[in-house]
Structure 1
Amino acid sequence: MPITVMIIDDEELAIKRIENLLMDMSNINIIGTCKTGTEAIKKIKTLKPELIFLDIQLKDITGFDILEQLPKENIPLTIFTTAFNEFALKAFDFFAFDYLLKPFKDERFYKSVNRAIKTLSQNEEESFSAEINKLLKYIKNPNQQEYRTSIPIKLGNKISFIKSHNVKYIIASGYYSEIHALEKKHVLRESLSKLILELGNNSFIRIHRSTIINIQFVQELISSNYGELDVKMSDNKILRVSKSYKKQFLKKMGV
């Protein structure tokens, strides 16, 4: 059966763009569109879509406000859409399923949709709903978040604990995260989005969609003539800072 979809955006052109991209997908059924948060809440409760495209910054309320007013056990799978970097990064880093930063490319859009379809086909909605609930609690009370001081790594029948302050950087690798600590590299089946939240914001920062670093191990910042920025870590590893994270990173580094 086709996946039921709702599009929520206060710009008509943005809604039409998503509708046109989804038009040729036989496994997608668009059951509604909304331009305000108030309308969206009513329609989601009534129509119960499986997947929603949600603009974070609407004219009346935010996308987070919409999710907060829905039944906690029945929040649709959500792909955030936004033109604002600050909102997009918060959504992605703090447990959002995915986000599309406007103007997004067709290839990026279909990647998000296919990921959503896979999640729904594997019946992982309950896990997503739990993550969204954590996101909403964090936004309301960010200071109440408990941060990890160590990361558990399971290997065979044993679980070892890597001290967070010994982690130099973490790199996404498919469905896994490669944790590069002082002594060696570890592989963990956990997303960067979840790790950056649980590790806290004192020493760790995301510099790329696929990279988290511990600023205590930053050796140098290297700028190119094209406005690109790289980070040289204490082990001489060179890591790229993406444009989306550059401003936030430089502020963190006091530059």
Structure 2
Amino acid sequence: MDRARNERGHNGNGAHHAAEAATKLRAIVVDDEPLARRGLEIRLADHADIELVGQYGDGAAAIAGLREHRPDLMFLDVQMPGMDGFETLRSIPAVEMPLVVFVTAYDHYAIRAFEASATDYLLKPVDDARLHQALAKVRQAHSQREARGHCAHLLGLLSELSGHPMLDLDEALKPDALEQLRREDKLAVRDGGRTVRVDLGSIRWIDAAGDYMCIHTDSETLVLRATMRDLEKQLDPQRFPRIHRSTIVNARRVVEMRPHTNGEGYLRLDCGQELKLSRSHRDKLDLLL
């Protein structure tokens, strides 16, 4: 009897483990930062139903990994050198598209679209509680998902980001749709413990202060931890050109340029502020005047 009970128990546990294995979600992580990938790997290890099958440092490698592993879920960094997150999505056939959780270091204007249409998003550094919430959404989406429904879901995200509704998936993923991101009329920035949506037209200039960036607007100066390169990626360079290694200016606010004898120049804004135009950025004059 004991032997029969043990056999029944063994078979029962085996069935349970088999069922658990059958419901595992296969995931990959795509991020150019090794520490970010390692951090997600450690956190995902606490979730028994998530199987990490691949880690990739760029979009091209991720696309090859998708074809090899056919994952259910992809954690995708938005901002990567070379092929960024959106370009990576553009290169994935709709029928091969997994569930996508975006990972980003910046709570900027695209977050609203992620919340509305993506499976979820995570801000770096990833918080355990926030990851738990994201995986709950992933599990729900996976259990209800049909390939056609998910493509429509992803199309909603990309259409909103591109500003071109009612497009098919291939059309929404074209480069010109991605470029629309840089023409948003608002920029969401973290200023201390708050997130503020700033009208781009109200920005006068942006300058660096150590490890921080100062965004000078008509009403206040916002301070956020970022780099000049980070902000350049988020802003339209035609509208917000870099005029110095530590300065970006709103070209529409420039009213006068005064040359200097050493080849540099000084720009006067409509608020009276003067900014230096360095010699290495004199090619921006056509945008400024």
| Normalised-by-shorter TM-score class | 0.5 to 0.7
Summarize the alignment of residues 63-74 of structure 1 with structure 2, pairs less than 5 Å apart: 63-74=85-96
Q: Which of the two has greater strand per residue?
A: 1
Q: Which of the two has greater helix per residue?
A: 2
AA partner of residue 125 (structure 2):
P
Distance 1:111-1:125 versus aligned 2 partners, 3 A rule: farther
- Once residues 81 and 98 of structure 1 are traced to their aligned partners in structure 2, the CA distance between those partners, rounded to angstroms, is 9
8 A contact 1:82–1:88 mirrored in 2: no
8 A contact 2:27–2:72 mirrored in 1: yes
TM-score normalised to the size of structure 1?
Answer: 0.55
Shift of 1:121: 1.8
8 A contact 2:119–2:137 mirrored in 1: no
Equivalent residue for 2:68, pick from 46, 56, 69: 46
Aligned to 1:18: 40
Summarize the alignment of residues 82-231 of structure 1 with structure 2, pairs less than 5 Å apart: 82-86=104-108, 88-89=110-111, 91-93=113-115, 95-124=117-146, 126-140=148-162, 142=163, 144-145=164-165
- Deviations along 1:106-153, one digit per CA (max 9) or x if unpaired, are 10111101210121122355423212123334444x2x337xxxxxxx
Count of aligned positions? 164
Gaps of 5+ in 2: 1-21, 167-183, 203-217, 220-289
- Once residues 28 and 61 of structure 2 are traced to their aligned partners in structure 1, the CA distance between those partners, rounded to angstroms, is 12
Aligned to 1:198: none
Q: Name the SS for the 1:247 alignment partner.
A: strand
TM-score normalised to the size of structure 2?
Answer: 0.49
Matched, 1:7 2:18: no
Gaps of 5+ in 1: 147-200, 208-225, 229-242
Aligned to 2:198: 248
- Once residues 54 and 87 of structure 1 are traced to their aligned partners in structure 2, the CA distance between those partners, rounded to angstroms, is 17
Root-mean-square deviation over aligned CA pairs:
3.2
Distance 1:138-1:24 versus aligned 2 partners, 3 A rule: closer
8 A contact 2:77–2:102 mirrored in 1: yes
Shift of 1:77: 0.4
- Deviations along 1:86-110, one digit per CA (max 9) or x if unpaired, are 2651551562221111123210111
8 A contact 1:45–1:70 mirrored in 2: no
AA partner of residue 46 (structure 1):
E
Which structure would you say has the larger RCO, counting Cα contacts within 8 Å and 6 or more residues apart?
A: 1
Aligned to 1:164: none
Distance 1:44-1:250 versus aligned 2 partners, 3 A rule: same
8 A contact 2:28–2:53 mirrored in 1: yes
8 A contact 1:3–1:28 mirrored in 2: yes
Distance 1:100-1:227 versus aligned 2 partners, 3 A rule: closer
